[in-house]
Structure 1
Amino acid sequence: MPYKLSATLSGHSQDVRGVASPTTGLVLSASRDATAIAWSKGQTDAGFSISATYRPSDGFINSITYAPPTAEAPQGYVITGGQDGIINVFILGSDSSEPAYSLLGHTANVCALAASPTGNLVSGSWDSTARVWRDYKELYELKGHSQSVWAVLPLDESKTLTGSADRTIKLWEKHKEINRFHGHNDAVRSLALVQDIGFASCSNDSEIRVWTLQGDLVYTLVGHTSFVYSLAVLPTGELVSSGEDRTVRIWKDGECSQTIVHPAISVWTVSTMPNGDIVSGCSDGVVRVFSDVEDRWAPAEELRLYDDTIANQSLPSQQLGDVPKSNLPGVEALSQPGKKEGQAIMVRNGNLVEAHKWDAKKRAWQKIGEVVDAVGSGRKQLYEGKEYDYVFDVDIKDGAPALKLPYNANENPYQAAHRFLGRNDLPLTYIDEVAKFIEKNTSAVHIGASNEQYVDPYTGASRYVPRSSSATTTPSNPYVSGAPVNSANVDPFTGSSSTSVKAKVLPVLSTLPFKQANVAAMEKKIQELNAAADSSISLRPEEAAILTELFGTLSTNNTALLTAQHVSLMTTLISRWPPSTVFPLIDVLRLVLASNPMAFKATTDKSAVVNALFVTIEKDAPWETPLPKPRETNLLLVLRTVANMFQAASGPVPDSWTSSLFTELQRIPSTVWTKAHLLALATLLLNYSSVIHRAANASQDQEKHLALIETVLGNTNSDPETLYRALVAFGNVVSSKSKPKLGKATATWLRLSSATAKRSGEERTKNLVDEVQSLIL
């Protein structure tokens, strides 16, 4: 029989991040609402009800497990781990609401817990360690992972498995590492024991792998279309998995035998009961029980309502694995049977695009939602251990680091705003402004890219494109108190306020680095290209070692560890690899420069870096449009990389290497510049003007700099954000101590700036033009 909904347990107000179901009558759940709940089923009562609620702290509870009974606790123990790094142990069935034990040692969120039948407890934490506890006292600390330990699995009294965001799995004998398993391309999220074989692991790379304990990969299970978060094993030996694609999947003999779609984006956690039922916990705050025994199914009306809820949901197209929506078939495609369980297709039904999933047991297509454009899970960014569709940088005041505002496309903007304000101790009176900011900057996101947009060379997505769309998505004043921010990263408290429109903008002394990155995709692409490269250009062992270290540094955001050595390595590799394959190397250099400007400042031969970059765009070859795609991509990445060379933190810019840079840029004809290229060029010019203004000295490249600004302002492909950045660059020049004598060119700049204001149509640009013109008259 197929699995169907058996029970719906509603009691949490936020994401359920952990579940455990040690008996057929007991379910434990942990939530980001700072509670853990014990759900019990009486012998005569068919349903589950709350028997106890635990509140160990005010922070999120992200993990939970059950420990077997002792004389002290005849019903066993409920063990929780959370944001404060403390593990709390409660006696199940006790009248006391206080923990019997609080285990201290971890210094960050405890995201994984598992107890052995004999009483050992293993915990994993964002502090990059795992710990083994016996009798609720620390026995061993397992140190060796370089990133968060997301998964733990005790094998016996002395052996333990751990899985980490560093993409490795380690086997420990007591506190010593005895084996290491490589294969996943992203964070390892869960581990499960597979009898007679070894164990299974799942990852953010969308794969489930089954291993022997000796390190052999037995097989890989592919079917999830996004991150796989949790694993469990049925009494029959079948694997169960859950993930970010709204599904729980059941695997038999290496194939997906059933897909259970949920009415929530993230199915964070899954467990199994001794009777074979499956328990899931989701981002909608609901715990659900599914059974393959008809007598335990929910009433027919509840099952119908559940299916209707799923069918009527909207979901991002990327949850179907980036299926292209052009030339989709009509509903007649549903008359053809699917090829395998869980296969997803999109069809056009009138003006709607519907997603359907093949149910192999019913031999029928099941509608799972209407597809909408949104940022998909495959492009999510990691912030505080959770993946988000957006992570905005919010500048609150000059000189202070930007605050991070994470947001998922499926969230209520007011909930995200409330979370942001609470985390940063900001007044709740700002909640409307923050919510409106989120709505404004997420309402016009499109999947894929037009011919005029740049596409992420790793994934095909437009993730790398800064927001540069119409006035409806560009805030009225994204430069506040001299601190520029990306049009998608605007101070929500002042950036959209009509009262700040007339405020002076110039000079803008902060710079705009291109920081957004898909580090895992970069590393994977470099490995692929290196494996296919000729031995004369492939990575030397010592280079590969430094590069691995570099990616580890970028992944953990340890930017202080980035040095001139890393800049030199990337320059060497960029010079050696052919232009057709060099793009991920350029992108890594871009990220190094953005992450630690001092690494470039300490680089002795900056001209060599610039020269190596310009070789990749074949600067001496004819500029015939349309450019070949590799050359177009390289040009954009080079512009972004050079833009990152000019940062306030890197100090004054010497003219010795900038002169050749501007000379080469001037040689590129205006017909070559796409919208994405122009935005990157405008940002480069803005950053240069900010650094020069801070240095308070004249630049011998001022004439070339102004000529390039004129190129951007006069190009018909420049959008409002590009025009605004170029105008800020010009404003910085004419507001500096070394302002140029424009002479006869004054009239030209007055006409050009007035035309720019008219083309842009934005109030902020008109106000900036007024300020600029007052400086040159």
Structure 2
Amino acid sequence: MPYKLSATLTGHTSDVRALSAPTNDVILSASRDSTAVVWRRPSTASKFASDAVFHASTRYVNSVAYLPPTSDAPKGYVVTGDQNGVINVYSLEPTKDDPDYTLLGHTNNVCGLRTTPAGNIISCSWDSTARVWKNFNLAYELNGHENSMWDVVAINEDEFLTCSADKTIKLWQQHKIMRTFSGHDAVVRSLALIPDIGFASCAANEIRVWSLGGDLLHTLTGHTSYIYQLAVLPSGDLVSSGEDRSVRVWKDGKCAQVLFHPAVSVWTVSILPNGDIVSGSSDKTVRIFSASEGRWAPAEEIEAYEDAVAPQPSPNAVQTMEALNKPGRQDGQTMQVLNGNVIEVHYWDGSVWEKIGERIGSASDSKKPKPKTFEGKEYDYVWDVAIEDGEPALKLPYNISEDPATAARRFLERSKLPLRHVDTVIEFIHQNTMAQTLSGY
């Protein structure tokens, strides 16, 4: 039975960046709107609804996890990690906006959080470390990666896997490195344990399946842009989400189904114990997909969703100014319009079209931008990029024939800026080239 839309959960006001689905009736989501939300349904016949909202940070909340119930918290805890490096722990009963515990020590974005059955917390950060917390106190650090850590999983209470922007994966026995897995040629962003096999990892648009002994078992390809997260179904099949606006289900080494989203990026994916897939995306929405017909949304809701994700005209098509009078199909949509002899790029923010720039080149020569010069060399584009509020804009040169990630990293290194900004720069390139790198220009 194929997966189809089961439910749509709205309430966040910015991108949904992380999910945890600990029971069939509870979903936790974290967002760039600085909150974490608890979604709950009282019974299988009920719909999920927002049960609690935690204002977990003044900046992005980029990771979330669930701790099992204790005598002090009969419904368990929500654990959040933010852009400041702060981990907050909130009881689900009673709920209050002040955390029960705050774990300090990371010095940069906490992008990965996991918990263990014994109640331990494992975190990883762009500060290139992972940390194990017992009884809400630091037990030990995992130091050994040469760049930002992106994800961590617990094999058991004392064994862990981490992945990093240094393109490696490491197996740890407590704080000691037992094995390093090499072979990816890009940032390794996510890990998922596969029972009786080993684990899966993703980098760029490739997934690799490994044994814990270090053998590469499978390589899965099919995504057309960056893969952001992996999860595993109760059957052992893999699920992935990425910047090609899709969630993909992998069975026996092949892509069995693609679930497209009306969003630019599907940042995160998680699995309910019953096998339903939960996704969080750049359109501020949490969605649930089920392979069980009894949990599918009403037929008219599924039809409306499938219409929303159906193939649309190429974003490179130039529209007339009258097109700005119509609302966008989804948040983050971009459109080119001809204003006199200038091609403008507009962005739909959910309520209005915002002009974000002008396309290089004339209307009669829209296939390839006219070259711009930077430091004596010609480039297809040279943009002014503001990385930090209040700081002067910097020049970003780019050729549509090159990898956006390579250009982003080169720009940051030349400007002596932290590599943590690489995703921001990549997103800027995609928006301002109208994905010409993907359309063969």
TM over 0.5: yes
2-structure distance, mates of 1:305, 1:515 = 41
Q: Does 1:221 align with 2:220?
A: yes
Higher helix share: 1
2:251 maps to 1:252: yes
**Cα RMSD over matched residues?**
3.6
How far residue 517 of structure 1 moved from its aligned partner, in angstroms, is 8.1
Deviates more, 1:116-125 or 1:217-226: 116-125
442 and 148 in structure 1: CA distance in 2 versus 1, 3 angstrom threshold: farther
Structure 1 residue 252 displacement after superposition = 0.7
Q: Paired residue for 1:177? A: 177
TM-fit CA distance, 1:93: 2.6
Higher-Rg member (1/2): 1
1:300 Cα deviation (Å)? Answer: 0.5
Distance 1:560 1:285 in 2: 32
Q: Which aligned pairs between 1:280-299 and structure 2 lie closer than 5 A?
A: 280-299=279-298
The one of 427, 440, 443 equivalent to 2:358 is: 440
Q: Cα deviations across residues 555-610 of structure 1 (Å, max 9, x unaligned)?
A: 9738779xxxxxxxxxxxxxxxxxxxxxxxxxxxxxxxxxxxxxxxxxxxxxxxxx
Aligned counterparts, 1:550-699, within 5 A: 557=413
In 1, the alpha carbon distance for the partners of 2:310 and 2:79 equals 37
Structure 1 counterpart SS, 2:132: strand
TM-score (norm 1): 0.45
- State the SS of the aligned residue for 1:306: helix
What residue number does 1:305 align with?
304
Structure 1 residue 45 displacement after superposition: 4.3
CA distance in 2 between partners of 1:263 and 1:156 (Å): 37
Q: Is the 8 A contact 2:52 2:95 kept in 1?
A: no
Distance change in 2, residues 1:43/1:121 (3 Å): same
Q: Residue type matched to 1:227 in 2?
A: Y
Distance 1:46 1:315, change over 3 A: farther
Q: Give the corresponding residue for 2:104.
A: 104
1:351-383 alpha-carbon deviations (Å, 9 max, x no partner): xxxxxxxxxxxxxxxxxxxx9988xxxxxxxxx
Match for 1:267: what amino acid?
V
For residues 209 and 3 of structure 2, the distance between their equivalents in structure 1, rounded to whole angstroms, comes to 23
Pair 1:410–1:290, CA change in 2 (3 A): farther
Instruction: State the aligned residue count.
Output: 383
Q: CA 1:523–1:414 in structure 2 vs 1: closer, same or farther (change >3 Å)?
A: closer
Alpha-carbon distance, 1:312 to partner: 6.4
Q: How has the CA–CA distance of structure 1 residues 251 and 557 changed in structure 2, closer, same or farther, with 3 Å as cutoff?
A: same
CA distance in 1 between counterparts of 2:188 and 2:368 reads 31
8 Å CA contact 1:123, 1:152 repeated in 2:
yes
* 3-state SS of 1:301 partner: helix
CA separation in 2, counterparts of 1:67 and 1:100? 13
1:55 partner letter: H
**1:465 maps onto 2:321 in alignment:** no
| Alpha-carbon offset, residue 521 of structure 1 | 5.5
2:214 aligns to what SS in structure 1?
A: coil
How much does 1:136 deviate? 1.2
Relative distance call for 1:180 and 1:441 in structure 2 (3 A) is: same
User: 1:741-773 CA distances to partner (integer Å, 9 max, x unpaired)?
Assistant: xxxxxxxxxxxxxxxxxxxxxxxxxxxxxxxxx
The CA distance in 1 between the partners of 2:314 and 2:163, in whole Å, is: 30
**Local SS of the residue matching 1:489:** strand
Q: Please name the residue that 1:14 is paired with.
A: 14
SS in 2 for 1:221: strand
Mark the CA change 1:442 to 1:19 in structure 2 (over 3 Å): closer, same or farther: farther
Deviation at 1:177, TM superposition (A): 1.5
Q: Deviations over 1:77-101 (max 9, x none)?
A: 1101111210000111313221110
Partners of 1:273 and 1:308 in 2: CA distance: 26
2:349: which partner in 1? Answer: 412
How many angstroms does 1:313 deviate by? 4.6
Aligned to 2:55: 55
Letter of the 2:273 partner, please give it.
P
Gapped runs of 5+ residues in structure 1?
A: 318-324, 326-370, 375-407, 417-434, 455-463, 468-485, 492-511, 525-550, 562-777
| 1:527-538 equivalences in 2 (<5 Å) | none
Match of 1:470 in 2: none
The CA deviation at 1:442 is 7.8
Letter in 2 for 1:440: E
Q: 1:176 to 1:521 in 2, by over 3 A?
A: farther
What one-letter code is carried by the residue in structure 1 that aligns with 2:154? P
Structure 1 distance, partners of 2:361, 2:137, is: 51
1:117 aligns with 2:117: yes
Higher relative contact order (CA 8 A, sep 6+): 2
CA contact (8 A) 1:131 1:139 kept: yes
Structure 1 contact 147–556 (Cα < 8 Å) conserved: no
Structure 2 gaps of 5+ residues are 318-332, 337-344, 373-377, 387-393, 418-441
